[in-house]
Amino acid sequence: MSSAGILIIGNEILSGKVVDENSPYLCHELRELGVDVERILTIPDVIETIANEVRAMSDRYDHVFTSGGIGPTHDDLTIEGIAQAFGRPVELNESIADRLRRNARGEINESTMKMAMIPQGASLLDAGDLWFPLVVIENVYVFPGVPELLRKKFESSRERFRGVPFELKHVYVTVHESEIAAELHELLVEFPNLLLGSYPKIRETEYRVMLTLESRDTGYLERALDSLLLRLPEHTILKVE
């Protein structure tokens, strides 16, 4: 199954001025598509740091998603960093430049034209109803930091990442984790390939723990769920979804 790394780029995230909305969104969408997100990293707007982390993620994961740092200002350094990661020069892309000109209300200045500079050999994917494309270099997908724009661009390309999705079951129990820990351990011995999560809920009044069971194999998941329900005292199970 395919794997992914997410690289959030921006001093504004690290300083707390802006809250990252993009990595939770990407994690949710990629999970639904059957892609395993194995790492999320937030880094500053520093070319060398961007280059090093992009290269490392590109070597390690099937897909890399970057967010932020592709605008017209002085601190938008993602493109230069990605180009350095792959040892490529940055060059003017006439297709993007033409789009900028067509959508401009006046003369294009140097700062705006910066957004038409991409690493040599990068490919462009048209992004739905947006006039500017998604830039792809090797296995790296370069997304904007603005959440609304990132989501539109992702929607336009999401099917290219589709694999075998996970099936998910929720079990809500009315006892503490410590009271069912042994049963959960026994379940994983019986079903070692099951992805089992246990999440205590402090402020919930109806239940104490939400259990999640995940597998790409529907039959395997159903058997694991049946086994879990047999292991837990019936009065402790609030509901199953």
Low-confidence stretches of the chain (pLDDT < 50) are: none
Residue of 27, 5, 6 whose CA lies nearest to 166: 27
List pLDDT tens digits, range 90-120: 999 998 998 888 887 767 888 889 999 999 9
**Matching CATH topology for 3-161 and 167-240?**
no
- The span from the CA of 155 to the CA of 141, in Å, is 13
For residue 138, the model assigns a pLDDT of 97
Classify domain 167-240 at the CATH topology level.
Alpha-Beta Plaits (3.30.70)
Q: Tell me the pTM.
A: 0.88
Strand 90-92 and strand 117-119: the pairing is: antiparallel
For residue 100, the model assigns a pLDDT of 87
For residue 131, the model assigns a pLDDT of 75
β-sheet bridge partners, residue 40: 6
User: Would you say the C-alpha torsion 172, 177, 183, 184 has a positive or negative sign?
Assistant: positive
Domain residue ranges in the chain? 3-161, 167-240
Q: For the structural domain made of 3-161, what CATH number should be given?
A: 3.40.980.10
